[in-house]
Amino acid sequence: MKKSSIIGFVLMLTVCGFCGGVLAVVIGLNDHSLAWLFETVYNWLFSNILAIQIVCFALLFAGSLAIYLVCQRRRRLYAEDYDRIDAKIAPWLDIGIVINSSLYIIMFVLFSLAVQTEIRGWETLIFLIACACAFVMEITYIRLVKNIYPKRKGDPLSIKFSEQWIDSCDELERKVTYITSYKTLNALRYVILGLFVLFMLLGITFPIGVLPQLVLAAIWLFINVYTLVVSRKLSNGENLE
């Protein structure tokens, strides 16, 4: 191990420890203000959850649909220019897919807040409608990509869609996917570690319990175990499909 790497690692731990200590002191000194702020936001969310659901659903779905229409227009405009169609549409497709995925996530978060006290009819209805619209848009985006890139294969309603999609990609696209997944996995580990520290510090002021840490620990353990299992199977030449 290089000496510079050891020094860098020690410096990183020192800086992180210092920042964590400062944050803990700030939280400890302002615990009453933070508790009041947390309670205020919490009560506001619960009292306006239906309106927040409707607004988030309308904005995200409209954004996803608008970007899809832009992609369709550009596909027709550059239909004969394959070299330019990728540069003109791919960035918009990425943004549209992210917005559509955000619709799923935000609706699940808001619905989980809504049902903490009781099962609510209108909140449940908006949640189901939003998820259905997001699912339809997801399939619509996949079909658009398949129209732009005819070599892409895969049934979006199949549980093996991811495998079918990867199999239809060329070598460069697979390499990009694998590297992206690897970097995302590494970033996720740092995110989980950061959330561990955050929840630990928040526990000084708010009665959040140990459930957040237990969930993070379960996710982290699953990632490590699953990565090890897949790695061993690949090393032994096994087929993972």
pLDDT tens by residue, 65-122: 999 998 888 888 776 666 677 777 888 888 998 999 999 999 998 888 887 766 678 8
Is residue 126's pLDDT more than 80?
A: yes
> Do 109 and 60 meet the contact criterion of CB atoms below 8 Å apart?
no
Q: Are 168 and 154 in contact (CB under 8 A)?
A: yes
Residue bearing the bigger pLDDT, 99 or 11: 99
Q: Token pair for residue 32?
A: 């009453």
Sorted by sequence, the CB contacts under 8 Å of residue 45 that are 6+ apart come out as: 52, 113
Band of pLDDT at residue 197, cut at 50, 70 and 90: confident
**Rounded CA separation 13/21 (Å):** 12
Secondary structure letter of residue 157 according to DSSP: T
Q: What is the pTM of this model?
A: 0.74
**Which is more confident, 17 or 86?**
86
Q: Confidence band (pLDDT; 50, 70, 90) for 237?
A: low
Asked whether 188 and 223 are in contact (CB, 8 A), the reply is: yes
Helix (H) or strand (E) holding 9: helix 3-29
